[in-house]
Amino acid sequence: MRAFYALTKPRVVSLIVFTAVIGMFLSTPEMVPLQILLAGTLGIGLVAGAAAAVNCLVEQKIDALMRRTSWRPLPRGDLTPAQTVAFAAIVGGGGLWILHAFVNPLTMWLTLGTFVGYAIVYTVMLKPATPQNIVIGGASGAMPPVLGWAAVTGEVSTEAMMLFLIIYTWTPPHFWALALYRTEEYAKAGLPMLPVTHGQKFTRLHVLLYTLIMFAASLLPFVIRMNGWLYLGAALVLGGIFIGYAVRIYRDYSDRLAQATFRYSILYLSLLFAALLADHYLVG
């Protein structure tokens, strides 16, 4: 059971589910209906876990070559590929059924599209083929708040796409900070990550540029009056700290700094979405 649980990449899925739930609450001035909240959270979480399992299956040989992933169940031999396929089918299929039966068909189809985008388009097609894999494939990772919004409203609105844009622009600096201090491992695994193909200086510049783009995107909920001054203050402070990390990475790089930036990027997204929620109910 521990091996199957590890297949789902629980830390990653927890952030996915968190942003999806925030999307649900932001979509309505009232409380989210309990059935939608529970079924939507469970369904999205199960499908996300199934996508992570497929990712582990496809990348099992790569994972075995990298220190940060060599502990996963498939490289260790704790599970077989057949067990992984069966697990992903049962968990993913169950999640889609829950979304269709207890939420709405739109959320189910959007979640299925997100699954295909991550497990197939990103993992199989983009990641081994182009250093822009995380930029293009990041669209699937940015979908959770849209899924949450659709679960409550049955539609995808401009506000939902603002949430999508925040995560989409957050993904490159978040992931490239990791890739910078794992460059040798990615090179050993034969993956064309940006610091492998274009060098660290080029990647450091792009971390800074995408952080600035992300900062601008984070202000859009205030610009379109989706959120108010409380959120704006949080976005300015959190984004300013992120920019500070990015500037330091560009000017005075170290692996320790890249690690700190990667860790902060996760905290940044969590706190930013928490600020969205707090502003929505406390101010809005």
CB atoms within 10 A of CB 43: 26
Q: Does domain 1-154 have CATH number 1.10.3720.10?
A: no
CATH number of the 157-284 domain = 1.20.120
Cα 181 to Cα 197: distance, rounded to the nearest angstrom:
14
- pTM as predicted: 0.93
- Confidence grade of residue 284 (pLDDT, cut at 50, 70, 90): low
Per residue in 64-95, pLDDT tens?
888 778 888 888 889 999 999 999 999 999 99
| Residue 230 token pair | 């409380």
Cβ burial of 155 (10 Å; 0-12, 13-18, 19+) is: exposed
Per residue in 169-226, pLDDT tens?
999 999 999 999 999 988 888 889 999 999 999 999 999 999 999 999 999 999 999 9
Domain segments of the chain as ranges: 1-154, 157-284
127 phi/psi in degrees, rounded to 5:
-60, -40
3-class DSSP assignment, residue 15: helix
Per residue in 10-68, pLDDT tens?
999 999 999 999 999 999 999 999 999 999 999 999 999 999 999 999 988 888 888 77
| CA-based end-to-end distance of the chain | 43
